[in-house]
Amino acid sequence: MASNEVDHALSLPVEQVGAALTALHEDQWFDRKSASIQPKKLAEALVAFANAEGGIIVIGLSDGQVEGVGQLGKKENDLRQAAIDFTSPPVRASFHKAKCINREGVEDCLLVVRIEPGERVHETHTGDCYLRVGDESRKLSYSNRQELEFDKGQSQYDGFAAEGVSIADIDLKLLGQFKESIGAAHVENVKVLRARSLVTRSGEITNAGYLLFGEYPQDVFPQAYIRILRFLDTKRGTGARLGLEEGADIRIEGSIPRAIQAAVSKIDELIPKRRSLSESGLFEGRPIVPKDAWLEGLVNAVIHRSYSLAGDHIRFEIYPNRIEIESPGRFPGLANPSSPLEISRFARNPRIARVCADLRIGQELGEGIKRIFEEMRIVGLTDPVYKQTSGSVRLSLAAIPRIDPRVAQRLPAGSQKVLDIIRSSDSPLGTGQIADALGMSRPAANARLKALETEGFLRWNGKSPKDPRAVWELSDDWA
C-alpha cells in the first residue's frame, strides 16, 4: 500500500472515513492504534516512525472497529503530550481530529498523528530505541542503534532548505499530479508540501522538495543526473581502447520522477535483447537482464543516493553481458555489501523515499534488494553483486546462468558467491582479495576456488604455487 491511500481515506465523506481506514493495510508509513492505548506505548510508535521516514498514526481504530476518541476526555491531552513527556529528543508530531462515524453509528472523531522524520536518533524516556520496519515498530539492539546513529548523521541533507529556491521554482503540473494521487487536489500547494516535510518550518522548500518537484533541480544540484552509457565490449577499457559506443553516452536531467521516466525509456532502447521462446509460444526479443531487476536497481540508486556528494552522479552502464549501476554514497552504517539481503532498512533520503512511494516509484530499500534477487533467480541468472567503494555502491547484474544444481551439489557451500565476486570484478582477483570481499577466511576461500577450478569455471594464473601476485580469473567458457 502506498502512503497516499491514507490521505485519500481521510479526505472521504464522514460516513466512509472509518471503514476506509480499517480496510487499509498497515505499512512503513501507517499504523492504527486503539483509543485505549497508553501515552507511554504510543511513544514507542512515535519514536519508530521518527527514526525512519515519518508517517501517520490514526488513534481510535481497533480490530476492524471504529471506536472513535470522543470519550477520551483528559486522556486525549495525555496522548497529545506523549511526544514531549515520553520521547527524547521530543519527536516532532502534529495532532488533528478527523470526523467519522463510530461503531455505534454515532458521529465521532479519530485522532490523526503526523510524525516528521527526525534528524537525530530518538528514544523513549526509558532509553529504548525503535525503528519502523514494514508494519511493525521494531526495538533495536545496541549494534543496530549504533548503525542508525551513524546513518542519521547523513540523513539530514534532504530536509535542509534548498538555497535560493522558492515555491515559484516548483513544477506545478507535476505537483498537481502528486496532489491528485494523494486525494488532495484542492489543497493548497504549501500545505501538501508541508504534509510530506518538503518545506521547512519557516516555509522554505527543502532539498528533497526541489529534487522531487523542481522545474530544473540541476541549477542547485548539478550532480543530480543519471548518465547512461553503452559499451561495445564486455570490458570498459580506457583511452584509445575505451569501448564506449558512439552516441551512447546520454545525460538525463530533471526532477526525480521525470528523470526516472526518461531514463527508463532510453534504457529500453539501448539494452541488448536476445530472442527467446515466450510463454505465448512465440520467439520474442527480451532484455539480457530482466527489466524488473534493472528498473528496481535504477530506482534504488536515484532514491537512496547521497545528494550531498558534489561532483558525482548515477551511472547506468550497459555491456553486452551485464548491467552495472553505480550510485554515490555507501550502504547504511555497518552494512556488509557481501550480504545485501541482510542489510537492515534505512532510507538516507526519507522524504524522497516517502514521496516516491506515494507516486508508486520503486519499493522499500530492503524489499527492493530482495526483488532484484528474485527477478534474477526467476530467469535462472546469477545473483546480483554489490561492490562498495570509499564513496559509492556498484550493482552488477550479469546475464550469466547460475551454476547447474547438479554441479552445485558437488561444490562447497558459498561457491556461487565466489564465482559472482570474480565475475563482477573489472580485473582478476587474488585469493586474499576474494576472501576479504566475502568476509571469509583465506583457507575457506581457497577451498572454494580450487573446487571451481576443478569444475572448469576458473583458472589460476601464477608463476609458482606461492606466487604472491597470482590471480584467479574466469575460464574462457564462463567469461
Domains in the chain with CATH codes:
4-140 (3.30.950.30), 221-400 (3.30.565.60), 403-479 (1.10.10.10)
pLDDT at 144 > cutoff 60:
yes
The per-residue pLDDT for range 74-85, each reduced to its tens digit, is 999 999 999 999
What does the pLDDT read at residue 127? 94
Specify the amino acid at residue 271: I
pLDDT at 334 > cutoff 90:
no
Residue 152 or residue 443, greater confidence: 443
What does the pLDDT read at residue 285? 74
Retrieve residue 80's grid coordinates. 497529545
Tell me the C-alpha distance between 391 and 302, whole Å: 15
The per-residue pLDDT for range 241-294, each reduced to its tens digit, is 678 888 889 999 999 999 999 999 999 999 998 876 555 566 677 889 999 999
In the block, cell 525503535 appears at 130
Retrieve residue 72's grid coordinates. 477520551
What does the pLDDT read at residue 467? 86
Report residue 449's pLDDT band, with 50, 70 and 90 as the boundaries. very high
Question: How much of the chain is in helix, strand and coil states, percent to nearest 5?
Answer: 35, 25, 40
The per-residue pLDDT for range 388-417, each reduced to its tens digit, is 877 889 999 988 888 887 888 888 888 888
Of 38-52, 145-159, 192-206, 223-237, which has the strongest mean pLDDT? 38-52
- Residue 94 has phi, psi (to 5 degrees) of -115, 145
Tell me the C-alpha distance between 334 and 338, whole Å: 12
What does the pLDDT read at residue 364? 46
The model carries a pTM of: 0.69
What does the pLDDT read at residue 406? 84
- Give strand pairing partners of 59: 33, 111
The per-residue pLDDT for range 213-234, each reduced to its tens digit, is 999 999 999 999 999 999 988 8
Tell me the C-alpha distance between 283 and 278, whole Å: 6
Size (the chain), residues: 479
Residue 64: strand, helix, or coil: coil
* H-helix segments, 169-253: 172-181, 189-195, 207-213
The per-residue pLDDT for range 25-47, each reduced to its tens digit, is 998 889 999 999 999 999 999 99
Residue 144: strand, helix, or coil: helix
What does the pLDDT read at residue 426? 66
pLDDT at 24 > cutoff 80:
yes
What does the pLDDT read at residue 1? 47
Cα separation values, 359 from 5, 174, 245, 363, 463, Å: 11, 11, 34, 11, 57
| Range 361-367 average pLDDT | 56
pLDDT at 379 > cutoff 90:
no
- Give strand pairing partners of 138: 131
Which of these, 158, 125, 131, lies nearest to 144 by C-alpha position?
131
The per-residue pLDDT for range 304-333, each reduced to its tens digit, is 888 887 778 999 999 998 999 999 987 765
Quote the percentage of the chain above a pLDDT of 70. 89
DSSP secondary-structure letter at 323? E
- Residue 289 has phi, psi (to 5 degrees) of -125, 135
Specify the amino acid at residue 415: S
Strand blocks (E) in 273-407: 273-277, 283-287, 314-319, 322-328, 385-388, 392-398
Report residue 113's pLDDT band, with 50, 70 and 90 as the boundaries. very high
